[in-house]
C-alpha cells in the first residue's frame, strides 16, 4: 500500500523579477534576502516546506536559515525540477 503524499508548499527564493519570468505552479515567492524578516510568516505554513531557486545555491542557504530557526524544510533544487 502506497502512503499518500502530503501536500507541500513550495517557496521560491529567487528575486521577484526572476519569479515573474517563470515558476512552479502554486509556489510562493519569498526572496532569500527577505526570509529573515518573514520567518514568522513561514512558521504559519501548515504543510511541509520545499525551498527552490534557479538551480544554484540560494535554496541551500534558505534551507540552512530555516533549519537554524527551527523550521523544517526540504531542499528542492531548481524550480523546474520540482515534482
pLDDT at 28: 96
Annotated domain spans of the chain = 9-81
Q: Are strands 49-53 and 9-12 parallel, antiparallel or unpaired?
A: parallel
Q: Domain 9-81 belongs to what topology?
A: Oxidized Rhodanese; domain 1 (3.40.250)
Given CA atoms 72, 74, 80, 82 in this order, what sign does their dihedral have? Answer: negative
Q: What would the pLDDT profile of 46-62 be if each residue is shown by its tens digit?
A: 889 999 999 889 999 99
This prediction's pTM: 0.89
Residue 8's alpha-carbon distances to 11, 26, 33, in angstroms, are 10, 10, 22
The answer to whether residues 14 and 77 touch, using CB atoms and an 8 Å cutoff, is no
Distance, in Å, from the CA atom of 80 to the CA atom of 65, rounded to the nearest integer, reads: 22
Amino acid at each position: 500500500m502506497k502512503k499518500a503524499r502530503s501536500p507541500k508548499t513550495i517557496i521560491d527564493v529567487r528575486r521577484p523579477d526572476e519569479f515573474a519570468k517563470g515558476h512552479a505552479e502554486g509556489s510562493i515567492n519569498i526572496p532569500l534576502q527577505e526570509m529573515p524578516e518573514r520567518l514568522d510568516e513561514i512558521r504559519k505554513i501548515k504543510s511541509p516546506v520545499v525551498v527552490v531557486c534557479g538551480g544554484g545555491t540560494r535554496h541551500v542557504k534558505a534551507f540552512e536559515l530555516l533549519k537554524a530557526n527551527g523550521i523544517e524544510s526540504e531542499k528542492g533544487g531548481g524550480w523546474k525540477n520540482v515534482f
